[in-house]
């Protein structure tokens, strides 16, 4: 399935550690999600940017260059596993609409009601300049339309758009990351797919650089030594016990000053799809056997660490943030 990533930091930094160097970096994850890669970020003047290509991150020199060179306080990235739509630039995430950078992992059935809703909100016969074939772009356009209807308030727009989708369209998974003006939102809905968050204070433990290792890789990031950083990802990107799994239905808001607020504003989907309801390409994009087995083993190890008390401090911090 597609993989989501976001980084929010106290000052502009690179995301190279998580995008390239970490034991389970986005580049590593792209081995199973090779149908496209994209990075979105906000410049020093607040202007949003997106660079994306329909190629695998692990084989893209441009991706590696961007990961090491661009600096921002808010970064969104995505690696794609197509659910049947063409492997083209117009179908590659993230999407940038009206200053909103959005990436999605899951399946939503785009019915005629959803198309009409987008057209009504966007005021365009073509659905607000939809260029590709993905449900994700329609979802991004719907969120942008609702945000505009709520005077540019992305939080209100997200809640309105997702509530509408849950009441009017069949849904398999609505996991997404959306950012506007350095406000970052992460949604896990429903529990079908995972979404994790890690809040690392400036200096970490004993003012050490970020240093992680797995069974096969050991790496260090000096860049993150003195910067508080919050990472959201579809799976833990290292073996630290400090990752927290978002609850099903949880909408997490990270403000420009780094405050985290969580809420549960959504009802259950009116029509919840299961894997058996999906087409062959859709189902294949959501369930890769080798990937799922590796993820389950890592999750088991993380849970064992928590039970041993290693993650007690992180659990307390997460509770305080909420």
pLDDT at 281 over 60: no
- Comparing 213 with 76, the larger pLDDT belongs to 76
Question: pLDDT tens-digit profile of 300-321?
Answer: 666 676 567 655 554 444 444 4
Mean per-residue pLDDT, 239-252: 94
Residue 280 in tokens: 């062959």
Averaged pLDDT for residues 182-206: 87
Enter the CATH code of domain 3-321. 3.60.20.10
pLDDT over 90 (residue 6): yes
Return the residue matching tokens 């890789």. 217
Predicted structure pTM score: 0.82
Scan for tokens 């911090």, then name that residue. Answer: 317
Domain definitions of the chain by residue range: 3-321
pLDDT tens per residue, range 54-64: 888 998 888 99
């Amino acid at each position: 399935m597609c993989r989501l990533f976001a980084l929010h930091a106290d000052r502009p930094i690179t995301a190279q550690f998580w995008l390239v160097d970490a034991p389970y970096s986005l580049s590593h994850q792209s081995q199973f999600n090779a149908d496209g890669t994209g990075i979105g970020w906000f410049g020093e003047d607040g202007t949003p940017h997106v660079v994306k290509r329909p190629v695998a991150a692990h084989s893209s020199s441009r991706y590696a260059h961007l990961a090491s060179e661009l600096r921002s306080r808010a970064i969104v990235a995505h690696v794609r596993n197509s659910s049947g739509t063409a492997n083209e630039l117009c179908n590659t995430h993230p999407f940038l609409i009206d200053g909103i950078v959005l990436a999605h992992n899951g399946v939503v059935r785009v019915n005629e009601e959803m198309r009409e809703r987008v057209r009504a909100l966007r005021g365009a016969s073509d659905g607000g300049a939809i260029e590709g074939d993905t449900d994700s772009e329609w979802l991004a356009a719907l969120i942008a339309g609702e945000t505009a209807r709520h005077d540019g308030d992305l939080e209100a727009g997200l809640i309105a758009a997702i509530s509408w989708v849950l009441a009017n369209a069949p849904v398999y998974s609505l996991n997404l990351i959306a950012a506007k003006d350095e406000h970052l939102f992460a949604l896990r809905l429903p529990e079908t797919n995972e979404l994790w968050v890690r809040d690392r204070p400036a200096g970490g433990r004993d003012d050490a650089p970020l240093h992680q290792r797995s069974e096969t890789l050991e790496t260090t990031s000096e860049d993150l030594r003195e910067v508080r950083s919050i990472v959201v990802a579809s799976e833990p990107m290292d073996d630290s016990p400090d990752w927290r799994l978002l609850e099903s239905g949880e909408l997490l808001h990270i403000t420009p000053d780094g405050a985290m607020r969580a809420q549960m504003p959504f009802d259950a989907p009116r029509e919840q799809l299961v894997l058996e309801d999906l087409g062959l390409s859709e189902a294949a994009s959501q369930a890769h056997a080798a990937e799922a087995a590796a993820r389950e083993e890592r999750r088991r190890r993380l849970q064992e660490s928590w039970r041993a008390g290693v993650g007690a401090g992180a659990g307390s911090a997460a509770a305080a943030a909420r």
